[in-house]
A and B are shown apart, each in its own frame.
Chain A
Amino acid sequence: MTGFSALNTAAQGLAAAQRAMDVISQNVANANTPGYSRQRVKLAALGETSGATLFTGAGAPLYGVKVEAITRTRDAFLEAARTAAGNRLAALQSRASALHAAEQLVSEPGENGIQAVIDDFFASWHDLATRPGDTSAGAVVIQRGIAVGDQLRFVAEGLAARFSTMRDTLSSVVTEANEVAKSLADLNGQIRQSTVAGQTANELMDTRDQLVRRLGELVGGVAQASDDGTVSVSVGGLVLVAGVSAQQFDVTGSQELGAALTDPPTISWNGTAVPVDSGQAAGLLAALRTDLPDLNTQLNGVATSLRDVVNGVHTAGFTLSGAPGGDFFSGADADSLTVAVTSPDQLAVASSTGVVDGSNAMQIGDLSDERNATAALGGPGPSERWRDLSTGMGVTVQSLERAINVQDGVVSTADSAVESDAGVNLDEEMTGMLLYQRAYQASARVITTMDEMLDTLVNRTGLIGR
């Protein structure tokens, strides 16, 4: 062993401690940075045997320490589990938000919903039945009929507006996903370059993991790592990002709620539909393809059953002037249901001609009773259909909210698993600081000691005869 090689070893110890402190300071600085993974220096001892030298003789070892790598702590499995859980949560939340808006439109149970308007409408026919010739009672019937049409149109238009908002959201989600996919492919390229050049790309990888997560939230992508440090992301079995190349998705399909059943909104690639099953896009697609069109169909069912059941009795009766009754309601769906009768003397209140009779009006009023409406239509009447719509939607929203609660717990568990693995613990970093500070001090002390030894050798030996 030679004093000069010990100096060199101590110098390496100082450098290693400095690098370690660099990494610790990076960890502490990024303790709260989202997506940051803690880094560690990987040290390795040197113990190579050198050739013979003048002073050491043959086979003396060359000691020292080197920084082998600066590694990033992130478990790919934990990260994949977190991404999958987050994707599913995003899907549930975006679907629930569509239904919440619909739920507000329904405004049941209450005294101002469609149920109340329909009840009032039928009640006004009973009032007319007791006063068949009274034009004011007739005017009330017409106004109540108009009110039912207005209320149904309000809900129908609300659903349509919600549909087009969500359709726009779907387009912007897919646009963002395309952008993220492009950035991801670029980042893959940079990571590959750094890796090939033997440099660390830890921060780039953190950013990339963040992008993968975002892509998952948007369109439910699943990531797969390759050996060269890049990741590929596939959505519904289709590879969206592979290495440095990224595909682009399109949104096709109807912009209008009315055509949503015949031309459902779809995410596609080169004309092929992509089966997106998680992420915001999946929730939006479920709402756009199923939930909102179904509600619209049910609402139209309320409107047409009301129209048919009232018109059926109305056309069988006669006006007080003896004319056969025409249609009371006209229109093909909830959006267009209007009262066809324009003045009270066109109301078919009587069951026969030439008499002042309110029995036909009473029959229409009696339709408020579920049994009469069902018998007349051979199926559920307007009130029953409306109740089915309201409770059916309630059940869907309730189950979605429960699923969201559960999924939220899953996400937070997965989050803390990732965080426990990759997050920065300040106590740990403090301990590391102590450790490397002491190591630095010790290496410095080695140099001092060597210096003193050399001082003895250089300045204090050979003084005889001076």
Chain B
Amino acid sequence: MSISRVTYRATSDTALRGLQQALTRSQQLQQQLSSGKRVSRPADDPSAVGSAMQLRSDRRADDQYLRNIQDASGRLGVTDTALTEISDRVRRVRDLLVQAGNGGINPEGLAAISSEITSIRGDVVDLYNTRWLDRPVFGGTAPGFMAVDSSGTYVGNDAVIMARISRDATLRIDTSGTAAGAGTLPALLDQIANDVTTNTGAVGSDLTALDGELSKVLQTLGDVGARAARLDTTKNDVQSEQMDFTSRISENEDVDLPATIMNLQASQVAYQSALGAAAKVLQVSLIDFLR
């Protein structure tokens, strides 16, 4: 400073200012350390706050995608179980049909086979009416709780239901009832139960038709399995993306602990020096040296 004249008031003002500055700096660092956050308001670092908001929003979106995935995988799991059960039942019917076609079974035996097939048909209709969260998984978007009614008629539709499983991907989470044989299998089983007792000659063509239905069920099962696998892959992707977001949020706004502690230490030393200087500089005046 080029001004040669110095007054006590100027000196004490300067000392006070230095103390205030050192204390303010310490307080800022202490606040950062105690909150663990480098940015706690937009003005701390506007661009970091912009990315913080974006990253948090993306992470919350991923939370929702994971919830959607969980729902979809539950739904596909139920579908998978139902289709596996149906295929087991169809195989059993096929065995019975082959048995009936071999001949040498008395009418009582054929009647027993027929009634077993009729009861299996009831099981199959129930399985086609499998529900997830009160909606039939083979029913598409049709209203009501049934995909197949008690007479064996398909009452669902084949509308596609999609779920958002990641930012860019959707996945079909329902299963077409028609493709899975819901429209044809119950009627065929009715016919087979009938043919076993009344029209043994039709067993051959029934067998062919049954094989056709079985392959429909198995094909749908394969499709469901493939979708479940895709769901798993996407789930892993979304989870790792979420971890990435979390670590980027932390990098973006959390304090660098060692650096902040060092800075705090330095600012406290500065504050102590300022205190020391203030105490010394105002101690003496000419009065102390005059008689």
Q: Across the interface, do A126 and B141 meet the contact criterion of CB distance under 8 Å?
A: no
The minimal Cβ–Cβ distance linking A182 to chain B, given in whole angstroms, is: 30
> Is A390 located at the chain interface by the 8 A CB criterion?
yes
- B1's nearest neighbour on chain A, judged by CB, is A416
Chain B residues with CB below 8 A from A32, complex form:
9
A427 to B63, CA, bound (A): 72
The minimal Cβ–Cβ distance linking B22 to chain A, given in whole angstroms, is: 15
Chain A residues with CB below 8 A from B141, complex form:
350, 355-357
A341 to B203, CA, bound (A): 59
A12 to B153, CA, bound (A): 133
Q: Across the interface, do B9 and A31 meet the contact criterion of CB distance under 8 Å?
A: yes
- A416's nearest neighbour on chain B, judged by CB, is B10
The minimal Cβ–Cβ distance linking A152 to chain B, given in whole angstroms, is: 16
A226 to B217, CA, bound (A): 105
Chain A residues with CB below 8 A from B63, complex form:
123
A412 to B61, CA, bound (A): 51
Chain B residues with CB below 8 A from A115, complex form:
53, 56-57
- B64's nearest neighbour on chain A, judged by CB, is A123
> Is A401 located at the chain interface by the 8 A CB criterion?
yes
> Is A420 located at the chain interface by the 8 A CB criterion?
yes
A350 to B140, CA, bound (A): 13
A116 to B133, CA, bound (A): 28
Q: Across the interface, do A417 and B3 meet the contact criterion of CB distance under 8 Å?
A: yes
Q: Across the interface, do A391 and B42 meet the contact criterion of CB distance under 8 Å?
A: yes
A123 to B162, CA, bound (A): 16
What 1/0 mask marks residues of chain B from 137 to 162 whose CB sits below 8 Å from any chain A CB? 00011110000000000000101011
The minimal Cβ–Cβ distance linking A155 to chain B, given in whole angstroms, is: 13
Chain B residues with CB below 8 A from A134, complex form:
133-134
Chain A residues with CB below 8 A from B253, complex form:
109
Q: Across the interface, do A420 and B142 meet the contact criterion of CB distance under 8 Å?
A: no
With beta carbons under 8 angstroms apart, the residue of B14, B42, B64, B143 that contacts A356 is B143
With beta carbons under 8 angstroms apart, the residue of A116, A123, A397, A423 that contacts B7 is A423
- A383's nearest neighbour on chain B, judged by CB, is B57
Q: Across the interface, do B7 and A420 meet the contact criterion of CB distance under 8 Å?
A: yes
What 1/0 mask marks residues of chain A from 19 to 31 whose CB sits below 8 Å from any chain B CB? 0000000000001
Tell me the residues in window 194-232 of chain A with beta carbons closer than 8 Å to chain B beta carbons. Answer: none
A115 to B17, CA, bound (A): 40
With beta carbons under 8 angstroms apart, the residue of A119, A126, A427 that contacts B164 is A126
With beta carbons under 8 angstroms apart, the residue of A350, A401, A416 that contacts B14 is A416
What 1/0 mask marks residues of chain B from 84 to 123 whose CB sits below 8 Å from any chain A CB? 0000000000000000000000000000000000000000
> Is A421 located at the chain interface by the 8 A CB criterion?
yes
A307 to B46, CA, bound (A): 27
A99 to B176, CA, bound (A): 58
Q: Across the interface, do A430 and B286 meet the contact criterion of CB distance under 8 Å?
A: yes
With beta carbons under 8 angstroms apart, the residue of A103, A130, A131, A355 that contacts B157 is A355
Size bracket, chain A contacts: 35 or more
A434 to B289, CA, bound (A): 13
- B136's nearest neighbour on chain A, judged by CB, is A356
Q: Across the interface, do A419 and B39 meet the contact criterion of CB distance under 8 Å?
A: no
> Is B255 located at the chain interface by the 8 A CB criterion?
no
A421 to B9, CA, bound (A): 12
Q: Across the interface, do A390 and B53 meet the contact criterion of CB distance under 8 Å?
A: yes
With beta carbons under 8 angstroms apart, the residue of A116, A127, A362 that contacts B162 is A362
Chain B residues with CB below 8 A from A390, complex form:
42, 49-50, 53
> Is B230 located at the chain interface by the 8 A CB criterion?
no
With beta carbons under 8 angstroms apart, the residue of B42, B61, B72, B287 that contacts A394 is B42
Q: Contacts A109-B253, A126-B67; is A423 near B56 (CB within 8 Å)?
A: no
Interface centre among B47, B53, B142, B167 (most CB of A within 10 A): B53
Chain A residues with CB below 8 A from B49, complex form:
108-109, 390-391, 394
Chain B residues with CB below 8 A from A431, complex form:
286
With beta carbons under 8 angstroms apart, the residue of B53, B64, B286 that contacts A426 is B286
A434 to B71, CA, bound (A): 95
The minimal Cβ–Cβ distance linking A462 to chain B, given in whole angstroms, is: 46
> Is A106 located at the chain interface by the 8 A CB criterion?
yes
A401 to B208, CA, bound (A): 84
Chain A residues with CB below 8 A from B133, complex form:
130-131, 134
Interface segment, one of A59-67, A253-261, A272-280, A364-372:
A364-372
Q: Across the interface, do B47 and A391 meet the contact criterion of CB distance under 8 Å?
A: yes
Q: Across the interface, do A116 and B10 meet the contact criterion of CB distance under 8 Å?
A: no
Q: Across the interface, do B61 and A421 meet the contact criterion of CB distance under 8 Å?
A: no
What 1/0 mask marks residues of chain A from 375 to 392 whose CB sits below 8 Å from any chain B CB? 000000001001100111
Q: Across the interface, do A103 and B162 meet the contact criterion of CB distance under 8 Å?
A: no
> Is B280 located at the chain interface by the 8 A CB criterion?
no
> Is A424 located at the chain interface by the 8 A CB criterion?
yes
Q: Across the interface, do A398 and B60 meet the contact criterion of CB distance under 8 Å?
A: no
- B61's nearest neighbour on chain A, judged by CB, is A368
> Is A393 located at the chain interface by the 8 A CB criterion?
yes
Q: Across the interface, do B61 and A369 meet the contact criterion of CB distance under 8 Å?
A: yes
> Is B43 located at the chain interface by the 8 A CB criterion?
yes
A286 to B46, CA, bound (A): 21
Q: Contacts A355-B143, A365-B164, A391-B46; is A420 near B39 (CB within 8 Å)?
A: no
Q: Which 9 A-B pairs have the closest CB atoms?
A: A394-B42, A394-B46, A423-B7, A397-B43, A355-B141, A109-B52, A123-B64, A357-B141, A391-B50
Query: 12 other contacts beyond A366-B164, A390-B50, A419-B10, with CB at 8 A cut-off?
Result: A108-B52, A109-B42, A123-B61, A133-B135, A355-B140, A368-B64, A419-B7, A419-B9, A423-B10, A424-B9, A425-B8, A426-B286
